[in-house]
């Protein structure tokens, strides 16, 4: 980031800051937050108006008005709708503004609003949508406008409009009325319940005359066609001297199911069951029951099959003799494919955990201090011969504790850090007569030191094998840092020196962090971890009053009899990026 031009760095800083701000933990009052949100939204709206981005302007004015209702926000919203061609919305917004603020508004603004109301009235229509079912979703020209019942009439642009109303369990309603300007139209919507039934077509395979039964109820002669409620049904047949093996059918809503029965002149009562009343029972590959079956079956040889997940399927020939009841109870056996080796206990990440880590820190983006900025804009300083602002180094220690529900954990992370950087400037005298000017030729060495810590609420995702555990933890919180600046100035034409040490300058900042890691499990509850921690701070955030930490301007410094300017140095102005390895341990599940 330090390699980017200053203008780009400022834009990147602003973008990252915008991403960080919503994650901060706020303790300010609701009214203050609403006022701040409204001001920010109004500022965004003004920018959009200048660029004639009316859609963005409308969204921003609407957000400002919702956060803190005001005449300016509502008037701006009405104008944005008007300029953006949203005629119905503009009419409604201007009407609301006149009602709320028109009496006390300046005459010119009131006159403009009234003129636009008149103009928009001729281009729009009032439509009332009445729905017989509450909770139905209403859309006009594919734009959602609310759920029934609506609070009142809608104002929409004149001309053909597409009205669509939907609700689960009902057929959708659509209508496209052609609305005239300055008219009032009422649309009555009647939603019709959607069918919850499916269709059955039942035949006897050889065309024998039988009576079809559904769940034991006589439905009429075969072939029979009819609708039944969606779900599982038992289909059978009855006739003098004839019987058909019943079948179980799953009927789906809106679909047709064909059932073919085979009737026989001779039959017997058959009772089939399993020892634990579980399993699907098939006769001649037709599902007839689950756990048990009782019914008349044609005499002859039939194929009996019983299946259940995790068990070996049971199959045998079932010989049914005329008018001889048959009962059969089957005990299913566990599947022979199940391993008989030692049972492996599945490890689950459940319970309290914690850990710690030693952190190495790099600050690749710099701090955005005055000395770094001088180096980036070296050409603007005639007296600056050279400058050096290398990246900083630091370290820290962090620890966490939390509770894990496989594979997600929630934890509190606390850490303390220290980092520093050394920067050098080589200056010529500030004027053409070295030795007499207020800033003589000199060498300046700066040491910028920072220490502090952070508290973060993190979410941890973890995957593990018997020896390796992979994880990633990330979250948001708050940090506090104190910064110190030391300057040692040495004259280039003499051994004279001046030392300057600033008072500590602190800042509070929102912080976002992410830490992927890989761990080696020494035993089930102990692992050594190696990770990479990245976190971001914004010293000039709202938590710090939008102020950047900087030193006080300090007079009175000199190199002998020659003056030495000591300005106010800005210590941290951009998004602070910290990156570094983490070596530690984790304890727990």
How many beta carbons lie within 10 A of that of residue 352, not counting itself? 13
Tell me the mean pLDDT in the region 166-195: 88
At 437 the pLDDT is 52
Q: Say if residue 398 is in the same domain as residue 545.
A: yes
Q: Which of the residue ranges 23-27, 46-50, 147-151 would you say has the lowest mean pLDDT?
A: 23-27
Q: To 5 degrees, how large is the angle CA 258–CA 264–CA 268?
A: 115
The C-alpha angle 426, 449, 371, rounded to 5 degrees, equals: 30
Burial of 170 (C-beta count, 10 Å sphere; 0-12/13-18/19+):
middle
* Residues 173 and 262 reside in one and the same domain: no
438 pLDDT more than 80: no
User: Quick check: 158 pLDDT over 60?
Assistant: yes
Quick: pLDDT tens for 193-202: 877 788 889 9
Residue 326 in tokens = 């048959």
Give pLDDT tens digits for 3-12. 444 443 444 3
Residue 343 within any structural domain of the chain: no
Task: Please enumerate in sequence order all residues whose Cβ is within 8 A of that of 215, keeping only pairs 6 or more positions apart, or say none.
Answer: 233, 234
| Confidence label for 269 from pLDDT (cuts 50, 70 and 90) | confident
Confidence of residue 430 (pLDDT cuts 50, 70, 90): confident
The average pLDDT across 446-450 equals 95
* Alpha-carbon torsion angle 429, 433, 434, 438, nearest 10: -60
Q: Evaluate if residue 358 carries a pLDDT over 90.
A: yes
136 shares its domain with 119:
no
Which are the contacts of 270, defined by CB distance < 8 A and separation ≥ 6? 293, 294, 295, 296, 297, 318, 320, 325, 326, 327, 328
Same domain, 538 and 438: yes
Average the pLDDT over 410-427 and give the result: 94
Determine how β-strand 326-330 pairs with β-strand 267-274. Answer: parallel
Digit-coded pLDDT (tens) for 41-63: 888 888 889 898 999 988 998 99
The CATH code of the domain that includes 54 is 1.25.40.10
Where would I find the beta strands (DSSP E) of 253-313? Answer: 256-261, 263-264, 267-274, 280-283, 286-290, 292-298, 300-307
| Band (377; pLDDT cuts 50, 70, 90) | confident
Q: Is this structure's pTM higher than 0.75?
A: no
Q: Is residue 81 part of a domain?
A: yes
In a domain, 358, yes or no: yes
Asked whether residue 313 is assigned to any structural domain, the reply reads: yes
- HEC sequence for 491-520: ECCCCCEEEEECCCEEEEEEEEEEEEEEEE
- d(C-alpha 108, C-alpha 224), whole Å: 79
Could you give the C-alpha distances from 333 to 119, 275, 288, 329, in angstroms and in order? 83, 11, 21, 13
CA distances from 482 to 220, 358, 449 (A): 90, 21, 8
Nearest residue to 90 via CA among 60, 120, 70, 52: 120
Q: Residue 92: pLDDT band by 50, 70, 90 thresholds?
A: very high
pLDDT at 436: 41
Taking the CA atoms of residue 353, residue 358, residue 364 and residue 365 in that order, the dihedral angle to the nearest 10 degrees is: 60
pLDDT, one tens digit per residue, over 523-572 is 888 999 999 999 999 999 999 889 999 999 888 888 888 888 888 999 99
Query: Does residue 341 register a pLDDT over 70?
Result: no
- Range of the structural domain that residue 493 is part of: 350-587
Can you tell me the distance from the alpha carbon of 275 to that of 278, in angstroms, rounded to the nearest whole number? Answer: 8
Q: Are residues 423 and 557 in the same domain?
A: yes
**C-beta of residue 534 within 8 angstroms of C-beta of residue 448:** no
Q: Of 92, 125, 158, which residue constitutes the final position of a domain?
A: 125
* pLDDT at site 513: 97
Mark whether 273 and 231 lie in a shared domain: yes
Mean pLDDT for the stretch of residues 318-347: 71
Residue with tokens 């701006």: 76
CA distance 204 to 212: 9
> Quick one: pLDDT at residue 536?
95
Could you tell me the pLDDT band of residue 267, with boundaries at 50, 70 and 90?
confident
Q: Number of folded domains in the chain?
A: 4
C-alpha neighbours within 13 Å on the C-beta side of residue 419: 23
Tell me the mean pLDDT in the region 118-122: 88
Radius of gyration of the chain (CA): 40
> 483-521, pLDDT tens digit by residue?
999 999 999 988 999 999 999 999 999 999 999 999 999
Please give the pLDDT value at position 1.
42
Residues 406 and 555 reside in one and the same domain: yes
Residues 480 and 522 in one domain: yes
Q: Mean pLDDT over all residues of the chain?
A: 85
Q: Is the pLDDT reported for residue 24 higher than 80?
A: no
Helix-helix angle 107-123:87-101, to 10 degrees: 150
Residue 510 shares a structural domain with residue 550: yes
User: What tokens does 273 get?
Assistant: 């069951």
Answer yes or no: is 17 within a domain: no
Would you say residue 136 lies in a domain?
yes
pLDDT value at 432 more than 70: no
Q: Of 548, 554, 544, nearest to 572 (Cα)? A: 548
3-state class percentages of the chain: helix first, strand second, coil last, to nearest 5: 20, 50, 30
pLDDT surpasses 90 at 151: no
368 shares its domain with 482: yes
Residue 266: both structure tokens together? 């001779």
Question: CB-based burial of residue 205 (10 Å sphere; 0-12 exposed, 13-18 middle, 19+ buried)?
Answer: exposed
Residues 505 and 567 in one domain: yes
Any domain includes 513:
yes
Residue 434 has pLDDT above 60, yes or no: no
pLDDT (mean) for 326-336: 85
Select the more confidently predicted residue: 532 or 181: 532
- What CATH number corresponds to the domain at position 287? 2.60.40
If you average pLDDT over residues 100-104, what whole number do you get? 88
List the structure tokens of 147. Answer: 């759920």
How many C-beta atoms surround the C-beta of residue 178 within 10 A?
Answer: 10
Q: Which of 296, 330, 364 is the last residue of a domain?
A: 330
Separation of alpha carbons 219 and 223, rounded Å: 10
Where among 189, 213, 241 does a domain terminate?
189
38 and 169 share one domain: no
Residue 428 Rama label (left phi>0; alpha psi -120 to 50; beta): beta
């Amino acid at each position: 980031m330090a390699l980017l031009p200053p203008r780009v760095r400022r834009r990147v800083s602003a973008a990252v800051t915008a991403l960080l701000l919503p994650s901060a933990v706020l303790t300010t009052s609701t009214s203050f937050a609403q006022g701040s949100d409204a001001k920010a939204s109004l500022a965004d709206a003004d920018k959009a108006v200048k660029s004639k981005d009316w859609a963005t302007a409308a969204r921003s004015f609407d957000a400002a008005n919702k956060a803190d209702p005001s005449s300016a926000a509502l008037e701006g919203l009405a104008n944005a709708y008007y300029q953006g061609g949203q005629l119905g919305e503009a009419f409604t917004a201007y009407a609301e503004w006149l009602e709320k603020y028109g009496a006390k508004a300046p005459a010119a603004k009131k006159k403009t609003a009234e003129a636009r109301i008149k103009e928009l009235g001729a281009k729009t229509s009032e439509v009332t949508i009445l729905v017989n079912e509450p909770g139905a979703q209403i859309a006009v020209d594919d734009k959602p406008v609310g759920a029934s019942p609506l609070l009142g009439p809608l104002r929409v642009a004149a001309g053909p409009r597409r009205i669509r109303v939907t609700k689960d369990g009902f057929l959708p309603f659509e209508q496209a009325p052609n609305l005239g300007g300055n008219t009032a139209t009422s649309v009555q919507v009647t939603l019709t319940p959607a069918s919850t039934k499916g269709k059955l077509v039942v035949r006897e395979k050889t065309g024998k005359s039988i009576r079809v039964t559904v769940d034991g109820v006589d439905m009429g002669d075969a072939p029979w066609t009819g609708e039944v409620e969606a779900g599982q049904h038992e289909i059978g047949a009855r006739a003098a001297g004839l019987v058909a093996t019943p079948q179980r059918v799953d009927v789906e809503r809106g679909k047709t199911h064909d059932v073919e029965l085979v009737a026989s002149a001779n039959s017997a009562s058959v009772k089939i069951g399993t020892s634990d009343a579980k399993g699907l029972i098939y006769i001649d590959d037709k599902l007839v029951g689950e756990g048990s079956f009782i019914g008349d079956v044609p005499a002859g040889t039939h194929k009996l099959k019983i299946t259940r997940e995790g068990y070996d399927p049971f199959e045998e020939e079932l010989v049914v003799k005329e008018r001889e009841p048959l009962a059969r109870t089957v005990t299913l056996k566990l599947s022979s494919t199940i391993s008989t080796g030692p049972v492996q206990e599945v490890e689950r990440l459940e319970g309290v955990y914690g850990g710690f880590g030693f952190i190495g820190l790099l600050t690749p983006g710099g701090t955005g201090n005055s000395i770094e900025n001088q180096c980036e804009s070296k050409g603007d300083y005639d007296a600056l011969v050279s400058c050096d602002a290398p990246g900083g180094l630091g370290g820290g220690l962090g620890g966490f504790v939390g509770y894990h529900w496989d594979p997600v954990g929630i934890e509190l992370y606390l850490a303390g850090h220290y980092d520093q950087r050394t920067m050098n400037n080589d200056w010529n005298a500030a004027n053409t007569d070295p030795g007499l000017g207020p800033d003589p030729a000199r060498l300046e060495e700066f040491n910028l030191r920072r220490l502090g810590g952070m508290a973060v609420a993190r979410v941890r995702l973890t995957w593990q094998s018997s020896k390796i555990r992979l994880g990633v933890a990330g979250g948001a919180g708050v940090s506090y840092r104190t910064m110190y600046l030391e300057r040692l100035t040495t004259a280039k034409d003499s051994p004279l020196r001046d030392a300057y040490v600033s008072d500590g300058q602190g800042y509070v900042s929102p912080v976002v962090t992410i830490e992927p890691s890989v761990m080696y499990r020494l035993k089930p509850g102990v692992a050594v971890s190696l990770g990479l921690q990245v976190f971001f701070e914004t010293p000039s955030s709202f938590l710090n009053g939008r102020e950047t930490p900087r030193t006080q301007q300090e007079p009175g410094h000199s190199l002998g009899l020659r003056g030495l300017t000591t300005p106010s140095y800005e210590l941290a102005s951009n998004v602070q990026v910290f990156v570094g390895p983490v070596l530690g341990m984790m304890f727990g599940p």
